[in-house]
């Protein structure tokens, strides 16, 4: 059991280390504030857990089997990514200093940051299909399928909270450097461009 858990955590590390939409959004939000970044992490991992439970219940198989449902979610996810990316690019063009700039995702409420992470994850059908194929591989023989998969989904989400929390912490530690207008603007431009490209890629991928 311990060896299975260690193998599972190793796989979770490799998954989290692979750059993707969630990573870019977390970095983008962390540029605003630690609070915004961490709440985005919590929202993203809520999505991870939801997809894990859905996979445990066998419902993601329906998504994988329905091309229309899959394509609808894929387009919704692509639009979400592009919207976040374009907003980041527009923010980067602002002339206000970082401490004066009010980002709606952090200024309105913590719920907005949490929701952005949750929405991005739930709008990605690949996350659902991946959970369906990933989690069953680590269910030990003879173990009850449903509770074990839900438990693995919870471990996966908690592990990634810690992992992505390091991103938030690192950005916070680099605050003096990042607060420089030129550096911040470049980071915003890079993260915004990557989010838009990921959205376009998701839209054209079958």
- pLDDT tens profile 51-69: 999 888 887 666 666 777 7
Using only C-alpha atoms, the chain has a radius of gyration, in whole angstroms, of 18
- What percentage of residues in the chain have a pLDDT greater than 90? 18
Structure confidence by residue, pLDDT tens digits, 167-187: 899 888 876 666 666 666 777
Question: How confident is the model at residue 180, as a pLDDT?
Answer: 66
User: Which residue is it, tokens 């074990």?
Assistant: 148
Question: What secondary structure letter does DSSP report for 124?
Answer: -
Residue spans per domain, the chain = 2-14+21-204
The CA distance from 125 to 50, in Å, is 12
| pLDDT reading at 102 higher than 50 | no
- Please work out, in degrees rounded to the nearest 5, the angle formed at the alpha carbon of residue 164 by the alpha carbons of 162 and 165: 60
For residues 98 and 185, is the Cβ–Cβ distance under 8 A?
no
For residues 198 and 24, is the Cβ–Cβ distance under 8 A?
yes
The CA distance from 95 to 101, in Å, is 9
| Average pLDDT, integer, range 28-46 | 90
The CA distance from 42 to 99, in Å, is 24
Instruction: Look up the pTM and report it.
Output: 0.75
Using alpha carbons, select from 56, 44, 27 the residue that is nearest to residue 123. Answer: 44
Higher pLDDT, 39 or 126: 39
| Average pLDDT, integer, range 137-158 | 89
Question: How confident is the model at residue 1, as a pLDDT?
Answer: 67
Angle between helices 34-56 and 21-30 (to 10 degrees): 150
Question: How confident is the model at residue 106, as a pLDDT?
Answer: 42
In whole angstroms, what separates CA 206 from the centre of its chain? Answer: 21
The CA distance from 5 to 138, in Å, is 8
């Amino acid at each position: 059991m311990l060896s299975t858990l260690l193998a599972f955590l190793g796989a979770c590390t490799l998954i989290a280390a692979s750059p993707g939409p969630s990573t870019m959004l977390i970095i983008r939000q962390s540029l605003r504030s630690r609070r915004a970044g961490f709440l985005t992490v919590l929202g993203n991992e809520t999505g991870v857990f939801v997809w894990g439970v859905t996979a445990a219940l066998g419902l993601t198989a329906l998504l994988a089997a329905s091309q229309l449902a899959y394509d609808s979610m894929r387009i919704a996810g692509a639009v979400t990514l592009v919207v976040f990316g374009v907003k980041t690019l527009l923010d980067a063009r602002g002339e206000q200093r970082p401490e004066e700039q009010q980002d709606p995702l952090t200024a309105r409420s913590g719920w907005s940051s949490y929701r952005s992470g949750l929405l991005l994850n739930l709008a990605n059908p690949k996350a659902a299909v991946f959970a369906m194929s990933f989690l069953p591989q680590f269910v030990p023989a003879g173990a009850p399928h449903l509770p074990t998969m839900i438990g693995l989904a919870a471990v996966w989400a908690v592990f990634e909270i810690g992992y992505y929390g390091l991103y938030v912490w690192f950005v916070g530690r680099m605050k003096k450097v990042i607060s420089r207008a030129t550096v911040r603007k470049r980071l915003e431009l890079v993260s915004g461009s990557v989010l838009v490209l990921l959205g376009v890629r998701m839209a054209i991928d079958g």
